[in-house]
Amino acid sequence: EAQVTQNPRYLITVTGKKLTVTCSQNMNHEYMSWYRQDPGLGLRQIYYSMNVEVTDKGDVPEGYKVSRKEKRNFPLILESPSPNQTSLYFCASSRGGSWSTDTQYFGPGTRLTVL
Amino acid sequence: AQSVTQLDSHVSVSEGTPVLLRCNYSSSYSPSLFWYVQHPNKGLQLLLKYTSAATLVKGINGFEAEFKKSETSFHLTKPSAHMSDAAEYFCVVSDRNSNYQLIWGAGTKLIIKP
């Protein structure tokens, strides 16, 4: 089954404790992206990647890191989480090429709480 | 700068009545426009998209949207609401000005009354 998976689905942590949220897709998609969703703000893009070893900042990259060492995986790293990073996070992938018009496929989301 | 405005944060309709979710956008170039749906505690799913072909776009689950350039609108409609339509709906725009990144509206929560 074609899908985007994220782990963990739920995470409660404390300020400053490094964490990684994994994202994996099995559709051989070139383009992957991370978003955060906050009430009343829609989705805001954190980072995106157009292919292996190619990443770029989205609208709200501060406090986050990503890497794209393999095509299928795109982990999101919070080196020193803070309470303002409490949010719902989504990973997405799309085929690439004409990625402005491609359909994005989303993971189920990771709800992160930073105390 | 590009932007998307969803004119209603909440819309409440009775089951069996028409649905209208409003979206206005600003774009300097020919935009691509999307509607995504998010059911409670679920991920996001594409409903439909406009990419400079027919201005009336049909999507899944009986939804459709019409691109009106003169009004800079891309409203989502459905003739008859079903209980399973209860969800949050997001209007999204993409164009050259945004480097083809997706710009998301704040979302409209659709409530279906029995």
Interface test with A, best of B104, B108, B109 (most A CBs within 10 A): B104
Please report the pLDDT score of residue B97 as a whole number: 67
Mean pLDDT to the nearest integer, B88-94: 92
Instruction: Check whether B53 has a pLDDT greater than 70.
Output: yes
**Among B4, B43, B107, beta carbon nearest to A108:** B43
Chain B residues touching A99 at Cβ < 8 A: 100
CA distances from A24 to A68, A105, B63 (A): 11, 11, 30
Instruction: Check whether A99 has a pLDDT greater than 60.
Output: no
- Find the Cα–Cα–Cα–Cα dihedral A105, A22, A47, B50, rounded to 10°: 0
Residues on chain B bordering chain A, Cβ-to-Cβ distance under 8 angstroms: 4, 9, 32, 42-46, 49, 51, 90, 94-95, 100-102, 104-107
Q: Is B32 exposed, middle or buried (0-12, 13-18, 19+ CB in 10 A)?
A: buried
Inter-chain residue contact A42 with B107, CB threshold 8 Å: yes
Interface test with B, best of A9, A48, A106, A111 (most B CBs within 10 A): A106
Between A14-28, A63-77, A90-104, B84-98, the lowest mean confidence (pLDDT) is in A90-104
CA pair distance B43, A99, nearest whole angstrom: 20
